[in-house]
Amino acid sequence: MNGISLQFADFKGDAAELARRIDTMLAAAAAPARDEAPLALVSPHAGYVYSGPIAANAYRAVQGRTYDTVVVIGPSHRDAFTGLSVYDTTRFDTPLGKIPCDRELIGRLLGAHPNIVYRPSAHRDEHSLEVQVPFLQRALTDFKLVMIVAGGRDPEAELTLVDVLAEYAKHQRVLVVASSDLSHYHGYAEANKLDAIAVKSIAALDTASLIRDIGAERCEACGILPVLITMEYVKRMGAREGVLLKHANSGDTAGPKDQVVGYAALAFWRDRDAAGQKASGKKNAAGEDKTVSIGRLDGAARAELLGIARRAIAETVRGSQRTEAKTANPALQTPQGAFVTITIGGELRGCIGTFREDTPLYRTVAQMAVAAASEDPRFPALTAAELPKIHLEISALTPMKPVADVSEIEVGRHGLYITKGFNSGVLLPQVATEYGWDRTTFLEQTCRKAGLQKNAWQEGAKILSFEAEVFGE
């Protein structure tokens, strides 16, 4: 598949004609709905004469933007398998040139789940991926590519994919493209009716309704799984809705109206107006410092970590050259997960963390501090004017453990991570103390944080607990 694909055979290697056709479609597309760079797109994948004018509206929304990596997810049209296939290669070719593939992200994905693999047969002439690439080449510059084919459903593999992408996007500018057409071979009016139902759920980020309506044949989408994965990814990244850029069908572009195929272009942006959750304060209701009891770190180690976090934030916000964090303290060199919370005047200004335990604690803290200041999807990046006002809190984490019996959960000691299907949410131990919650309320609020019904913890959700050593300035 490194060679020029059959999908582009009509152009017989004529890069100029392919570029001209795409540029013409991009020029005719509507201006993007917002000034910011989108998190993700939904774009159709039929031949350019049919769906190209609709796809152009999606790519017009990212034209001239800067992304480090573009992840294209498409359905499998020829190969039957369960899970996800990540194209394991160094480059992808079209008549417009060669695109390097993101070997780091590919490496993180492969093996992250037993059903995330490289299956060569899934990528052989898979047009749902291929037709998106020339649009990317004309709309963007200097990006790397990752191409994923989605087969039969494996919710755990899909959620793992979302987890890896969201983690990667903390440190890289990532665009995700879901490749999907909508209804197939209905009359013009019926197709528009079916497509309206699908588009409504996609734009509302309502995965449950979309799955239900697809199953009841109230709407259709050949790339339903890529769309569902993308919907979950953008919710994780702070989007609240999608924007429909263009909807039409083959009867509007180049075909008859008796049997049409539906197409839609949508974009998803981070919601910068989302209200930040109330930050946990430094003290509990009794006015005592809220320091969780697993104290592995002494006062000097805590002070050093807080200094590392503040320096990393200051250097990032001021645009100065980053100084690599260093320490001689063995306690800070142990691999450990951590969250860094930034508040201003007692109100949350950023909170990012990781449970991964493959990085020394002092480096984890530096990385999460920068991410909390500049990459929390709920807030704009911290400014230099805000630096003197910030307060930092670090939560050094123990590994997560499955909860067999909720009676094991100790409020004030344990944090919770709850996951079900595509949804997951985490609350740190100090949050329950801050709000005076009992165990049941803590479980319910963590479910709500995950976007689930409050009683999901009683209905099949997976519950994990962890402890945190919490300290602040």
pLDDT single digits (tens) 367-388:
999 999 999 888 999 999 999 8
* 471 pLDDT above the threshold of 70: yes
Structural domain ending residue among the three candidates 268, 289, 312 = 268
Residues 30 and 174 in one domain: yes
Residues 35 and 85 in one domain: yes
**pLDDT at 10 (0 to 100):** 52
Q: Is 62 helix (H, G, I), strand (E, B) or coil?
A: coil
118 phi-psi bin (left φ>0, alpha ψ -120 to 50, beta other): beta
By percentage, how much of the chain surpasses pLDDT 90?
65
* 325 pLDDT above the threshold of 90: no
Query: What is the mean pLDDT of the segment spanning 295-322?
Result: 86
| 50-105 confidence digits (pLDDT tens) | 999 999 999 999 999 999 999 999 999 988 899 999 999 999 999 999 999 999 99
By percentage, how much of the chain surpasses pLDDT 70?
92
Among residues 351, 334, 333, the alpha carbon closest in space to that of 342 is found at: 351
Instruction: Calculate the dihedral angle through the C-alpha atoms of 123, 127, 129, 134, rounding to the nearest 10 degrees.
Output: 130
Residues 323 and 245 in one domain: no
Other C-beta atoms within 10 Å of 285: how many? 10
Residues 239 and 379 in one domain: no
**pLDDT at 78 (0 to 100):** 87
Residues 95 and 198 in one domain: yes
Residues 314 and 262 in one domain: no
Within a domain: 1: no
Within a domain: 236: yes
**pLDDT at 331 (0 to 100):** 87
Residues 370 and 317 in one domain: yes
Dist. CA 337–CA 362, nearest whole Å: 10
CATH number of residue 194's parent domain? 3.40.830.10
Query: What is the mean pLDDT of the segment spanning 148-172?
Result: 91
Residues 29 and 161 in one domain: yes
**What total of structural domains would you count in the chain?**
2
* 272 pLDDT above the threshold of 60: no
Instruction: Calculate the dihedral angle through the C-alpha atoms of 206, 210, 213, 214, rounding to the nearest 10 degrees.
Output: -170
Residues 185 and 130 in one domain: yes
* 127 pLDDT above the threshold of 50: yes
What range does the domain containing 401 cover? 299-472
Within a domain: 279: no
**pLDDT at 298 (0 to 100):** 79
Question: 413 near 292, Cβ under 8 Å?
Answer: yes
Residues 192 and 314 in one domain: no
Residues 239 and 316 in one domain: no
Within a domain: 96: yes
Q: How confident is the model at residue 297 (pLDDT cuts 50, 70, 90)?
A: confident
Query: Is the pTM above the cut of 0.85?
Result: no
Q: How confident is the model at residue 164 (pLDDT cuts 50, 70, 90)?
A: very high
Among residues 150, 145, 91, 144, the alpha carbon closest in space to that of 116 is found at: 150
Dist. CA 120–CA 253, nearest whole Å: 34
Within a domain: 285: no
Within a domain: 257: yes
Structural domain ending residue among the three candidates 245, 268, 291 = 268
Within a domain: 172: yes
CATH number of residue 349's parent domain? 3.30.700.20
Dist. CA 151–CA 208, nearest whole Å: 19
Between residues 295 and 40, which one has the greater pLDDT? 40
Within a domain: 347: yes
Question: 195 near 249, Cβ under 8 Å?
Answer: yes
Residues 235 and 303 in one domain: no
